[in-house]
Amino acid sequence: MRIMFGIGFALLLAGAAAAQPLVPPSYTQAQAARGEQAYMSNCASCHGDKLDNGGGDGAPNLVGPAFSQGWGAKPLSELYDYTSANMPASSPASLSPQVYADIVAFLLSKNGVTAGTAELPPDDDRLKSMSGPH
Ligand code: HEC
């Protein structure tokens, strides 16, 4: 009986490892504050200083349901990778991985994700296990 219980438990662990549910992202308030500064210098000219495009010149909103529904359903690595590779649109991939992670932390803070005690890592593999903003 004890052995059967042990086998069952091992199968349960194996199942959990295979399914890999996304965990909520973690970032700190200090990191989001750094990200806000980097956002204002590098992104606000197109996306607006309230992330709502400031009235519209073709750059999409980075807050609100359309943004969080689109990116929230995917691993956070997708938002990080997209932003790192394509933004700022005027000068793609021109910032450091750390600055992109800080900016993503700022975007999370503006999309209803609560700050925690661990910084968002500039690490694609770890971001793959985290959920997007939703
Ligand atoms: C020169 C103008 C410009 C700048 C500066 C800029 N963007 Fe963009 N951004 C755009 C445009 C235009 C799009 C839409 C691109 C498309 O649909 O192919 C976009 C799309 C995005 C998206 C995808 C939004 C969505 O839901 O599809 C994200 C995220 C984003 N930008 C983040 C940033 C960040 C972060 C920065 C600063 C590091 C930045 N952008 C700087 C013009 C800009």
Query: Per-domain residue ranges for the chain?
Result: 22-127
- Nearest CA to 75 out of 38, 24, 3, 36 is that of 24
Model pLDDT, residue 21: 86
Pick the CATH number of 22-127 from 3.40.50.2000, 1.10.340.30, 3.10.129.10, 1.10.760.10: 1.10.760.10
Angle 134-102-56 (CA atoms, 0-180°, nearest 5)?
A: 65
Q: Model confidence over 31-68: pLDDT tens digits?
A: 999 999 999 999 999 999 999 986 566 799 999 998 99
Q: Which of the pair, 90 or 9, is modelled with greater confidence?
A: 90
**What is this structure's pTM?**
0.88
Whether the CB-CB separation of 83 and 104 falls below 8 Å is answered with: yes
Distance 129 CA to ligand 1 centre (A): 24
- For residue 97, the number of C-alpha atoms closer than 13 Å in the C-beta half-sphere is 8
**Alpha carbon distance 131, 41 (integer Å):** 27
* Any atom of ligand 1 within 6 Å of the Cβ of 115: no
Whether the CB-CB separation of 65 and 108 falls below 8 Å is answered with: no
Model pLDDT, residue 7: 53
Model pLDDT, residue 28: 98
Q: Which of the pair, 3 or 75, is modelled with greater confidence?
A: 75
